[in-house]
Amino acid sequence: MAYLGPRLGVSRIFVPRVIVFRLLGAVGMDDMGLALGRSALERLDFDNVVLKKLPLDPSEEAGVRLVKGACFSRVKPEPLNNPRFVAVSLDALALLGLDGDEVMNDPLGPEYLSGSKVMPGSEPAAHCYCGHQFGQFAGQLGDGAACYLGEVKVPPGQNPKFLRENPSGRWEIQVKGAGQTPYSRKADGRKVLRSSIREFLCSEAMFFLGIPTTRAGSVVTSDSKVLRDVYYSGNPSYERCSVVLRIAPTFLRFGSFEIFKPADEFTGRQGPSYGREEIRGQMLDYVIETFYPEIQQNYPDRVERNVAFFREVMCRTAQLVAQWQCVGFCHGVLNTDNMSVLGLTLDYGPYGFMDRFDPDFICNASDNSGRYSYKAQPAICRWNLVKLAEALAPELPTDRAKAVIDEYLDQFNRSYLENMRKKLGLLRKEEPEDEILITELLRTMHDTGADFTNTFRSLSQISCPSERETEQDKEIVKKATELFLAQCASLEELKSANTPTMDPRELAMLLSMAQSNPTLFEMISDRATIARQLDRMSKLKVLIETSQEELRARQAQEWTSWITLYRKRLACELEGQSDVQVLQEERVRVMNSTNPRVVLRNYIAQNAIEAAENGDFSEVQRVLKVLEKPFSSQPGLELPAWVGSHGSAAQGERDEREEQEQRASASSTATDPVPYDSKPPAWARQICVT
């Protein structure tokens, strides 16, 4: 969940069995007319293979319970009151052979895609899985809000690229927020508008950035409401129940294999299906046969097959996190239950794209220790792979698993360097000093507080040098420095960013405890957290003694030094090239198709959420259009739609209480509009996601 603090007077928040009768036999003219008149969603061709291949919970008892010896439980989605679409993704729905505009205009569309009605052929179910959360085994988790609807056969004529990525020939569809399941624990299984919009937009944003991800087909909201106390202040308020349609080849995850775990030595919890080794074998067979058919075909020996599978998961995971790092994406909750067995980005909660570059960036305000910080993501993904290997034993021999995991760092570094070279336009040669160049770029960005996305986007504006340094080259370096200075943080921004989050008295107490009672210290804090606080204090002291002019001069000097180093490396690209102009054009093309112009910054999502909560869904739809072409400038889509229109919302979507809240909030959103591709406005620093 998430909230926006002092910017608003009244704080607004966001984050984050039916029996089916089929007509059999010959179809007459009347039947054909009936079929043509049916909703397109009623004509989806389901083939729910996973429910046939993996054990189903025999109990259909309502309510939360421990589910033993099963991978899925049948559930009944809870209908919403007056469901209606907020937005649909035409591109994602096309995977199912659906026309998005037709679905949007289908009177039954919001009911079917929220789980309020069950489509013919659908078999609603919830998946049982476990997970290590923040490093501790949590026992049974499962789909507490998500509901499997079934697997839709790939329609004829689907893009071959998708068929290569999804060899199963089916797309699993889920609704998230459709009510309680056996795995809801103490929750109600509902999601609200803010978190649903965030998941919908980011799922699609990641896809169009070229990053492997689950997809989102639609967001539905309703007049049903749930009570949420986002601030834990004792003042809960009602929010609209909303549902996201999620699409993927499968939503199986690392935690799916942890249901067989014996009692954990630290928490004492064990998987609900501990001892049921045969089910683990079934699940492993299903995953490999269905989603890794080449491995199944090429490795007749079971152990070798399983090792090859684990190596492929390792490679996909390393490549995925390398891509995250290269766009400044932070997942926020990299628990084992949020890691896909297909190497997809899975479960969008308190995620965030970095604004000002900071390797210690933490997007989840609940992550006090920084376990899931930006710089920690590669190591955490490796840690999660270790836990997957443990869950697959003895099907995956321990020594063989260790050998594969030892390959992870090299795989990550190769993928990261390959992506970074494209981002810097280093296309012809791979030089040993490239790693130093990249490291120096990131250090300069960090020291100057430069915007991550816009700095990389600006790199293509630096031209290759001439053979001999001229006055023109000096002018190019000067203009490039000014270009990057525009993306640097001000003195006040850096002071704010480096203000310790811990009370000085608490910090002093912990420092003393670390010396006098290390055991107690380790129970209530950790050295990394203390080190971050001390580092902030040190930087803040320097900043307090610095003027804005001195800061700007230092930033200019740092950027001039790096740009000079960069252009020297670009000169190496020109060696042996007869047509410098062709190389320069290719370089700009590659860089501008690798460095996005727009990412889903928190403030962009926040603006869309606020508009939707006031009944205006157009900004969600507009942001989706912008995110569908993240590398391109789109004339007419530079600014939010409400700029100049004062955010005129559909009155029918508001009730009296919401109108009162809106008047009381006196939102400043419309008073400080910024383009989607700009640095975030000052108020964006107050957004907090948990």
Helix (H, G, I), strand (E, B) or coil at 171: strand
Reported for 561-568, long-range contacts at CB under 8 A and 24+ positions apart, including other chains, are 561/444, 562/440, 562/441, 562/444, 563/462, 563/477, 563/480, 563/481, 563/484, 564/477, 565/437, 565/440, 566/424, 566/437, 566/441, 566/459, 566/462, 567/462, 567/464, 567/465, 567/473, 567/476, 567/477, 568/465
Amino acid (one-letter) located at 287: V
Helix (H, G, I), strand (E, B) or coil at 336: helix
**Cβ neighbours of 244 (radius 10 Å):** 28
Task: Write out the two tokens for 226.
Answer: 């749930």
Task: Write out the two tokens for 247.
Answer: 């699409």
375/497 Cα distance (integer angstroms): 17
Phi first, then psi, for residue 222 (nearest 5°) are: -160, 180
Radius of gyration, CA atoms only, the chain = 26
Distances (CA, A) of 24 to 27, 28, 31, 309: 8, 11, 11, 41
- Is 655 part of the annotated catalytic residue set? no
Helix (H, G, I), strand (E, B) or coil at 668: coil
Phi first, then psi, for residue 150 (nearest 5°) are: 145, -175
Single out the residue of 10, 1, 5, 14 nearest to residue 611, CA to CA: 14
Answer yes or no: are the C-beta atoms of 163 and 191 closer than 8 Å. no
Distances (CA, A) of 26 to 37, 39, 121: 18, 21, 19
Query: How many residues does the structure list for the chain?
Result: 690
Start-to-end CA distance of the chain, whole Å, equals 5
For helices 408-424 and 302-327, give the axis angle rounded to 10 degrees. Answer: 30
Amino acid (one-letter) located at 542: V
Strands (E), 274-424: 329-330, 352-353
Annotated catalytic residue: which of 337, 347, 367, 677?
A: 337
323/439 Cα distance (integer angstroms): 17
Element of type H or E holding 471: helix 471-485
394/374 Cα distance (integer angstroms): 33
CB-count exposure of residue 657 (10 Å: 0-12, 13-18, 19+): exposed
Single out the residue of 250, 315, 331, 318 nearest to residue 283, CA to CA: 250
663/493 Cα distance (integer angstroms): 30
**Exposure string over 498-520, b if 16+ CB within 10 A, otherwise e:** bebebeeeebeebeebbeeeeee
454/503 Cα distance (integer angstroms): 34
Single out the residue of 18, 242, 228 nearest to residue 121, CA to CA: 18
Q: Catalytic residue numbers? A: 337
